[in-house]
Structure 1
Amino acid sequence: MALQALGWVLSDGPRAERFLGLTGLSPDELRAGLGDPAILGAVLELLANHEADLVNAAFALDISPEAIIAARKELS
């Protein structure tokens, strides 16, 4: 789910830039850390902290916002 959420985050330039800016990750670090639970958790954390993105991502990914929140808790 976190990888799907990452794909959704990165599908929009300004949203992707916000994610990289908030996490301090470079694109290379992000690519290298795709299997890192901390990085995947950061994706879900971004969504959890911005309700509009949470709702839009959940709709786009056909999952509930609650499922994203639960996955974030599992990764932290």
Structure 2
Amino acid sequence: MRKQINVGDAESMAINSLMFLADDSELLARFLALTGITADQIRTAAGEPGFLAGVLQFYLGHEPTLMRYCEATGTDPALFQEALRLLPGGRQDID
């Protein structure tokens, strides 16, 4: 049986994922290039609705990055999609 997560868990996962990529200059550069924000805008952007969902989408959009994070943190990759659905900007009407 898979672990059920709530919105708080989803937010924590996204924040931890953001910290993980911030500690990796290669990942951070790719994230900034894809999102169009600058490093000094991250703190402000993180408070915007949809930003945390965007962090999870970044991982879900590149499986090697997702697996690197999951292996380093012991996170079940399946939880990323579930967490994304719980966050503003990540909800999807299609299951």
Fold match, TM over 0.5? Answer: yes
Give the TM-score band, short-chain normalised.
Answer: 0.7 to 0.9
Q: 1:22 corresponds to which residue?
A: 34
Residue-by-residue CA offset, 1:23-73 (whole Å, 9 max, x unaligned): 001122211122334111111111001001111111222210011121122
What corresponds to 2:70 in structure 1? 58
Of structures 1 and 2, the larger Rg is shown by 2
- Percent identity of equivalent pairs: 32
Normalized against structure 1, the TM-score is what?
A: 0.88
8 A contact 1:58–1:68 mirrored in 2: no
Amino acid at match of 2:34: L
Where in structure 1 are there 5+ consecutive unaligned residues? none
User: Taking structure 2 as the reference length, what is the TM-score of the superposition?
Assistant: 0.72
> 1:68 and 1:17 mapped to 2: Cα distance?
21
Question: 1:41 is paired with a residue of what secondary structure?
Answer: helix
2:59 match: secondary structure: helix
Give the residue type in structure 1 aligned to 2:14.
A
CA RMSD of aligned residues (A): 1.3
- CA distance in 2 between counterparts of 1:3 and 1:37 reads 13
Cα distance between partner residues in 1 of 2:47 and 2:72: 22
